[in-house]
Amino acid sequence: MAYNSGGYNKVNGGVLGGNFLTGSMDFFTVATLVPCFQTNVDTPINLLYTQQGYSTWQPVTVVDGTGTAQTYSTAADYQNAYTNQTNLNLLTSLFGQNVNPVAISVNYASQDVGALSLTATQLNITTNYSYSASFGYTGTKTVYYVKFITEKTGYWYVNGSTVDSPNWDSNTTGYQFLDALNAATAAGVAVYDLQSPVLTGTTTVGTVSSLSNQTVNINTNYFEVSGSNINTVAYVATLANAGSPNVPNQNALPTP
């Protein structure tokens, strides 16, 4: 529901009390090993003015998306937080190229990814009508869950696909968000990796220094959605009937 503030706030054309989103909504869950979290650290380390005039790193405190004040006691910790926020911004921007989400949530968990595939309820056994694949990794990894809700359905939908067929949500006949991630460049969409890389094939392309002369690496990689090093999978659920937000089409609703 949208908060009504008079004629300047319109949802579906309504301007007075009871402005609701439609029931024709898509629910995307993207699970990725690419570091993606709302740290709210969005100032590049070389532009961080609080370090100016010092010869040692000065701790930086930023309130993250959970409302928790996080103190970054080293340049490496700060760069990792910047990496998380930058990757999340990129993923959100890419999604928004086709349709603007009306709600986004971000979370993460440490899990054994070798035995898991993404389904409606998180990572579990793959089900019919799922838009997913197994990670190309094994062992315990940090999995970042980014969930998008769109007000209208079908904006990442491929024309001509048959709704409710087993292949409806596939990458070629249904929703193509993963294809968009993979096809933006020949090698995929470039992302940052942590100072101690967590992704296969990460490359250090250079370094950057803070105003207190602390140097960190610039590590890059890609959203990999196919092949042997898959690090990003997705699942989509669509509401069956407008005005019936508790009735998903074939798929159980992803967890909040």
Query: Is there a domain that residue 5 lies in?
Result: no
Sorting pLDDT into bands at 50, 70 and 90, what band is 132?
low
Q: Which one is predicted more confidently, 36 or 229?
A: 36
Query: Is there a domain that residue 13 lies in?
Result: no
Query: Is there a domain that residue 107 lies in?
Result: yes
Q: What is the mean pLDDT of the chain?
A: 75
Sorting pLDDT into bands at 50, 70 and 90, what band is 157?
low
Q: Of 87-96, 147-156, 188-197, 219-228, which range is least confident? A: 147-156
- As a whole number, mean pLDDT of residues 125-138 equals 60
Tens of pLDDT, residues 59-71: 999 999 999 999 9
pLDDT of 104 > 80? The answer is yes
Query: Is there a domain that residue 6 lies in?
Result: no
Query: Is there a domain that residue 256 lies in?
Result: no
Q: List CB contacts of 24: < 8 A, sequence separation 6 or more.
A: 151, 152, 153, 239, 242
Q: Which residues of 38-68 are buried (b: 16+ CB within 10 A; e: fewer)?
A: bbebeeebeebeebeeeeebbebebebbeee
Question: Which residue has tokens 């939908």?
Answer: 157
pLDDT of 169 > 90? The answer is no
- Per the structure, the complete domain to which residue 236 belongs is given by 26-249
**DSSP per position, 36-86:** -------S-GGG-GGGTT-SSPPPEEEE-TTS-EEEE-SHHHHHHHHHHHH
**pLDDT cut 90: percent of the chain above it:** 38
Which range of 158-162, 207-211, 227-231 scores highest in mean pLDDT? It is 207-211
Q: Of 17-26, 187-196, 213-222, which range is least confident? A: 17-26
pLDDT of 162 > 90? The answer is no
Give residue 40's pLDDT. Answer: 97
Q: Structurally, how many domains does the chain consist of? A: 1
CB 102 within 8 A of CB 20: no
Question: Which residue has tokens 């100072």?
Answer: 195
143 beta partners? 109
Query: Is there a domain that residue 10 lies in?
Result: no
3-state secondary structure (DSSP) of residue 29: strand
Give residue 206's pLDDT. Answer: 97
Query: Is there a domain that residue 239 lies in?
Result: yes
Tens of pLDDT, residues 21-66: 666 677 777 889 999 999 999 999 999 999 999 999 999 999 999 9
What is the value of pTM for the model shown? Answer: 0.79
CA torsion, ordered 176, 181, 82, 210, to nearest 10 deg: -160
Query: Is there a domain that residue 2 lies in?
Result: no
